[in-house]
Structure 1
Amino acid sequence: MKGGDPAKAARHLTPDDLQRGDLRTLEAGQAASRVAALPEVRAALIDFQRRFARGEGGAVLDGRDIGTVICPAAEVKLYVTASPEVRAHRRWLEVGGDEARVLDEVIERDARDMGRADAPLRAAEDAVVIDTSKLAIDEAVAAACAIVEARLPKRR
């Protein structure tokens, strides 16, 4: 997206675009936080995510404002978190680089997202908070599945 129009890119986003491996980089995460603060980009992304969530069979969405802005009426909302240090360490294991820099960037992004005027980062009032700071991935998944199974009616 360097040099491109972020609003145009957001308006033309497709589900296939979400498969790109470079979306998991540190740089992409930082850019997403900055660009999503632009009202025109934000509106296009909200529209895309809401359409995606309404797809046949439902959807599992991951994001910092999914439960508060994108799908406020979702049947189940999980607010999955961990300490900044744990999140930075996990991110560092995923992308490499300088672990101290990764921690600084996690803290900066949290501050930027919590402090923004439009849809600040926070848990939805009806979300179940899962702090994964001391959980292995299989324990976190089991906790999430137990909550979903308890809250959703049995479906056939």
Structure 2
Amino acid sequence: MKKITIAIDGFSSTGKSTVAKQLAAYLGYIYVDTGAMYRAVTLFALREGCMKNAVLESKKLIDRLEEIKLEFKIELGQNNALIYLNGENVEKEIRSMDVSQWVSHVAELSEVRKKLVELQQQMGKNKGVVMDGRDIGTVVFPEAELKIFMTADAKERAQRRFLEFQEKGKSVSFEEIYANVTERDRIDTTRADSPLIKADDAIEIDNTQTNREDQFHTVLQLAKDRIAGRV
């Protein structure tokens, strides 16, 4: 059976990673969470004091990019690869609200994007990969056989994240999360380098009213059609 490249782009909190993991597991493909890569760089920046007086000191971070080593590893008892920053498992740390508030600012930097895009292209050079992010179908793999663009109402996305934080016992208000979601949307869609846009040949899926199971089966059928050469 031939292998293809599957690119899943879209707004934050649309469930890109969830459906990408499901699809990769079903197909036996490699899954790459590019958002985790940007979050790991953001965590490095926070730890190393690259944010001062609520401003990202871009040059300070850019000058230290060579110090950042990112890897995905599968740990015992885990089905999905976890992100490692300089040898440390930071999967939990990168999901914090602090990282969420800064990640779009870090992702704006052309130097950061260049470094990570090169890594992503290397990871998917042999196909058989499902990769999700903001610019996978437009920049990382413009020739991907299947491109999906996911969207949902901003309030619905904020509500999903709010419930996730509540389940984890984190004290964050809905208003804070909604503000973060809409600000990230603004930055992601207006940045000069590789903005979040739907590729011309991408299939848009609005999952505002869709449950995860139905969404997975829709995406899986699209993948099966591409693999079989029916589209």
TM category (shorter chain) comes to: 0.7 to 0.9
Overall identity of the aligned pairs, in %? 33
The answer to whether the aligner puts 1:68 opposite 2:68 as a matched pair is no
The answer to whether the aligner puts 1:14 opposite 2:81 as a matched pair is no
TM-score by length of 2: 0.60
The answer to whether the aligner puts 1:23 opposite 2:94 as a matched pair is yes
**Alignment RMSD:** 2.1
Matches within 5 A, 1:2-151: 2=46, 3=48, 6-7=61-62, 8=65, 11-16=68-73, 18=83, 20-54=91-125, 56=126, 58-96=128-166, 97-151=172-226
Q: Report the CA distance shift for 1:57/1:46 in structure 2 as closer, same or farther (over 3 A).
A: closer
Displacement after TM superposition at 1:13 (Å): 1.4
Segment of structure 1 superposing worse, 3-12 or 112-121 = 3-12
Structure 1 or 2: larger helix share?
A: 1
Secondary structure of the residue aligned to 2:205 is strand
CA distance in 1, matches of 2:67, 2:138: 20
Structure with higher RCO (Cα < 8 A, 6+ apart): 2
Structure 1 or 2: larger strand share?
A: 2
Secondary structure of the residue aligned to 2:193 is coil
Displacement after TM superposition at 1:11 (Å): 4.9
| 1:43-64 Cα distance to aligned partner (Å, 9 max, x none) | 101111111122x562111101
| 1:18-56 Cα distance to aligned partner (Å, 9 max, x none) | 2612223333233221111112111101111111122x5
| 1:110-154 Cα distance to aligned partner (Å, 9 max, x none) | 011111111111111111001100001111111111111122227
Secondary structure of the residue aligned to 2:146 is coil
8 Å Cα contact 2:100/2:180 also seen in 1: no
Flag structure 1 segments of 5+ consecutive residues without an equivalent: none
Query: What is the number of residues matched between the two proteins?
Result: 153
Segment of structure 1 superposing worse, 142-151 or 6-15 = 6-15
Segment of structure 1 superposing worse, 35-44 or 124-133 = 35-44
